[in-house]
Amino acid sequence: MSRLTIGTRGSALALWQARHVADRLRAIDPTLDVDLNVIKTRGDKILNVPLAMVGGKGLFVKEIEEALLAGDADVAVHSIKDVPAELPPGLHLGAIPQREDPRDALVSRSGSLQEIPTGGRIGTSSLRRTCLLSAIRPDIEICGLRGNVNTRLRKLDEGQFDAVVLAAAGLKRLGFEDRITQYLEFPWLPAVGQGALGLETRIDDERTDAWVQQLHHRQTALCVGAERALLRRLEGGCQVPIAAHATLSAQVVSVQAMVGHPSGSPVFRGRRQGPADQAAALGDALAGELLEQGAREVLAQLEWNQVDTSAPTDRF
Q: What residues contact 124, with CB distance under 8 A and at least 6 apart?
A: 130, 133, 142, 143, 144, 145, 164, 165, 312
Q: Return the number of other C-beta atoms located less than 10 Å from residue 118's C-beta.
A: 9
Residue 17 to residue 99: CA distance in whole angstroms: 12
DSSP state letter for 175: T
Amino acid in position 159: G
C-alpha–C-alpha distance, residues 107 and 165, integer Å? 6
In the chain, the largest separation of any two C-alpha atoms, in whole Å, equals 61
> Is 26 buried (19+), middle (13-18) or exposed (0-12) by CB count in 10 A?
middle
Whole-number Å distance between alpha carbons of 84 and 228: 9
Is 204 annotated in the active site?
no
Q: Based on the number of CB atoms within 10 Å of its own CB, is 91 exposed (0-12), middle (13-18) or buried (19 or more)?
A: middle
- Tell me the pairing of strands 252-260 and 91-95: unpaired
Omega of the bond leading into 266 within 30 degrees of 0 (cis):
yes
Which of 33, 44, 72, 82 is catalytic? The answer is 82
- Comparing CA positions, the residue from 274, 195, 127 lying closest to residue 284 is 274
The residue type found at 248 is: L
The count of residues in the chain is: 316
So which residues are the catalytic ones?
Answer: 82
